[in-house]
Amino acid sequence: MSERKIVIFDTTLRDGEQSPGASLNTEEKLSIARQLETLGVDVIEAGFAAASLGDADAIAKVAQEVRRPIIASLARATKRDVEEAGKALSKAERGRIHTFIATSPVHVEKKLKMSYDAVIDVAVDSVKLARNYTDDVEFSAEDATRSDWDYLCTIYEKVINAGATTINVPDTVGYTTPQEYYELIQYLKNKVPNIDKANISVHCHNDLGMAVANSLSAVLAGANQVECTINGLGERAGNAALEEIVMALKTRNDFYKDCYTEINTEEIHRTSRMVSKLTGIHIQRNKAIVGINAFAHEAGIHQDGVIKEKQTYEIMKPKDVGIETNNFVLGKHSGKHGLEKRLKELGYDLDKEKLLDVFNDFKKLADKKKEIYDEDLRSIIEEKFKVVPQIYKLVSLQVVSGSNTSPTATIKLVKNEEEFQDAALGDGPVDATFKSLERITYVKGKLLRYDIQALTEGKDAIGEVIVKVYFSDIDKNILGRGTSTDIIEASAKAYLDAINKALMYM
């Protein structure tokens, strides 16, 4: 049997960004898109052009700068949506318009309030219009798994005749099961007379926890494109996770004998981490493939087995997904060459100026911590070279707090080499810190979310703080992130990060 390439369609920047709490600006979307290109995805759905000017701008910039993958924009089956998608993709090396309309009874009759024939007419018209902008048009029958199968056959036949080159069979609300989905894909392959003229795609949500299983079942049935997201991000319970789909196909190639992807799996961990950091959505510890515990062994019997033979309890090599098993430890006596060597092993190739910058921060951290781990180094890099330019930078922070003392924070910031200093009282040290930052920058926000987690182990671990702040002046919720061995300093950096992002809109 000849090998069959499974096209990986990544919708992290569109469906993934619709996760509650996730929000990305254009520069962050560009960073993720570039990393998805490095990862080797075939299609990047960069957004929904008609949704907002910001989305359209992000799609246009991704289309202009990221050249190897196909860049797609979602569009409802309306003239305006398709036209906006076409405009946003105008500079793409290879652009795809992904248009959709619902086909299930509950959607057609209750939401759209249209006749079934009218839905087909609208779908066909939108595909024909999209073909004016690109030869690559995908059509999705929203809520396909709760639709009448014969009706699906009819609408897919019509849109393929109209020029659709990919037909998508989405499990929009995570309703189907692996066996049922397999049978649906087989039914379409056998009943749609022109199905050989289009690729079959699947897009599964995880409401019943079966998104990955359903996607893989569809692949077995003959689907050759899987729509998925990094870390399984997406609305409600999320989408099928890219890393799980890809590693299942790779690890079980004895079962999926004819299937392969062109994903560079060693970039999975780095991509997962980037998406988690920029969206502010933590990865659960026991998440398959990319969770902290995915390759951890605590039970004595497991440890004994892994020591004797890794395959007793590890079906994948950590290095295959970009996780280093020998967590190299540096300390205050480590030199610049040792740091440079380790950074290169972690995938960071810095010029001399940036390396010296990182080395200075590394030495400062080494004075506070006895041992510096890989996660500490990644934290330094990510903090040092943020995607969004830092208008204000933190110079110093002094906090006074106690059970019988009014919490006070004194902060010094620098902007364009000019220093600003102020102090504020608060309900606690963090509140005082945030108020002091607002006094200096004249930017006031409402804190909606405040999360803390340790990035490494031990009492001297680096702490990461993620804040979500609403700024009424720009009517936006913005995520900020900061790291430090001092959790108050990390909080200050996170809130200042959010302020700096807000200032870009002012």
Return the HEC string of 336-377.
Answer: HHHHHHHHHHCCCCCCHHHHHHHHHHHHHHHHHCCCECHHHH
- Give the whole-angstrom CA distance, residue 375 versus residue 339: 13
Own/partner pairs, 406-410, CB within 8 angstroms, 24+ separation: 407/431, 407/432, 408/432, 409/433, 409/435, 409/436, 409/488, 409/492, 410/436
DSSP state of 230: G
φ and ψ of 73, to 5 deg: -125, 135
- Give the whole-angstrom CA distance, residue 455 versus residue 379: 8
- Give the whole-angstrom CA distance, residue 379 versus residue 292: 16
- DSSP states of 272-286: HHHHHHHHT-PPPTT
Enumerate the β-bridge partners of residue 393.
Answer: 414
- Answer whether 7-279 and 393-503 agree in fold: no
CB 450 within 8 A of CB 481: no
Q: In what order do the strands lie in the sheet with 418-425?
A: 393-402, 405-415, 418-425
**CATH class assigned to 393-503:** alpha beta
φ and ψ of 326, to 5 deg: -95, 85
User: For every one of its 506 residues, what pLDDT tens digit does the chain have, with 9 covering 90 and above?
Assistant: 578 999 999 999 999 887 766 778 888 999 999 999 999 999 999 999 999 998 999 999 999 999 999 999 999 999 999 999 999 999 999 999 999 999 999 999 999 999 999 999 999 999 999 999 999 999 999 999 999 999 999 999 999 999 999 999 999 999 999 999 999 999 999 999 999 999 999 999 999 999 999 999 999 999 999 999 999 999 999 999 999 999 999 999 999 988 999 999 999 999 999 999 888 888 888 899 998 777 764 444 444 554 555 666 578 888 889 886 545 567 777 778 878 887 887 777 888 888 888 888 888 877 776 677 777 787 777 777 766 678 999 999 999 998 888 999 999 999 998 999 999 999 999 999 999 999 999 999 999 999 998 877 777 778 889 999 999 999 988 888 888 889 999 999 999 999 998 998 88
**Model pLDDT, residue 116:** 97
**Model pLDDT, residue 309:** 58
**Model pLDDT, residue 49:** 96
- Amino acid letter, 320: D
CB 467 within 8 A of CB 479: yes
CATH node for 7-279: 3.20.20.70
**Model pLDDT, residue 301:** 44
Who contacts 441 (Cβ-Cβ below 8 Å, separation ≥6)?
392, 413, 496, 499, 503
pTM of the model: 0.81
**Model pLDDT, residue 32:** 96
**Model pLDDT, residue 325:** 58
With DSSP H G I counted as helix, E B as strand and the rest as coil, what are the percentages for the chain, rounded to 5? 45, 20, 35
Positive or negative CA dihedral for 108, 140, 60, 228?
A: positive
CB 465 within 8 A of CB 490: yes
Give the CA radius of gyration of the chain. 25
Q: Which of 91, 98, 34, 88 is nearest to 66 (CA)?
A: 34
**Model pLDDT, residue 302:** 44
- Give the whole-angstrom CA distance, residue 164 versus residue 124: 9
Pairing type for strands 393-402 and 405-415 reads antiparallel
Domain map (residue ranges) of the chain: 7-279, 300-384, 393-503
**Model pLDDT, residue 308:** 58
**Helix or strand holding residue 57 (H, E):** helix 53-65
- Give the whole-angstrom CA distance, residue 231 versus residue 241: 5
